[in-house]
Amino acid sequence: MSDRIEKTVDLAAPLSRVWRALTDHRQFGEWFRVHIESPFVVGETSRGHITYPGYEHLRWQAVVQKMEPERLFSFTWHPYAIDPQHDYSGETPTLVEFTLERTATGTRLKVVESGFDKLPSHRRDLAFRSNEGGWTIQMENIAGYLRDAA
């Protein structure tokens, strides 16, 4: 198992449009399938409810780390925190980094999630496998969102 997940997608949308889809909490929520309660602010905790079918009972929470316009958006969170009875706050969160790069046809979006090696051993493999597949789906989701919103 690796400590990091890395996914890249080329999007036929301008850098500024992809940036808004990532950092406007409402737009992020549409493609990520989460209702986020307030705008993203560096250093603050973002909260909301998952809207993905079958997971609607779960809360979403992440701490925004960086917002470097049209270049980098990052947050930390507790990956695959799906047991509402479990307190994940004692675990070291993983870091999710979205980087954007202008291309001849639009924007290359890369997401890297790292820090799985710091998760408790009983959760590590499942969290990694679940998020590996989840990020594949989320890259498809943002591509579809940008295509449909064009």
pLDDT digits 0-9 by tens, 6-39: 999 999 999 999 999 999 999 999 999 999 999 9
Give the separation between CA 37 and CA 132, rounded to whole angstroms: 26
pLDDT tens sequence across 35-53: 999 999 999 999 999 999 9
Length of the chain: 150
pLDDT tens sequence across 54-63: 889 899 999 9
Q: What's the token pair of residue 70?
A: 């049209």
Give the separation between CA 49 and CA 18, rounded to whole angstroms: 23
% of residues, the chain, pLDDT over 70:
99
Radius of gyration of the chain from Cα atoms? 15
- For residues 94-98, average pLDDT: 98
Q: What's the token pair of residue 84?
A: 């509402």
> Is residue 150 scored above 80 in pLDDT?
no
Give the separation between CA 32 and CA 21, rounded to whole angstroms: 10
Tell the residue number behind the tokens 């507790």, with chain if given: 78
Q: 4-149 domain in CATH 3.30.530.20? A: yes
The domains of the chain are located at: 4-149
CB atoms within 10 A of CB 119: 22
The answer to whether residues 74 and 65 touch, using CB atoms and an 8 Å cutoff, is yes
Q: What pLDDT is stored for residue 149 in this prediction? A: 79
- For residues 111-135, average pLDDT: 96
Tell the residue number behind the tokens 């909301």, with chain if given: 48
Average per-residue pLDDT for the chain:
96
Tell the residue number behind the tokens 């675990």, with chain if given: 91
> Is residue 1 scored above 60 in pLDDT?
no
Coil, strand or helix: which one is 24?
Answer: coil
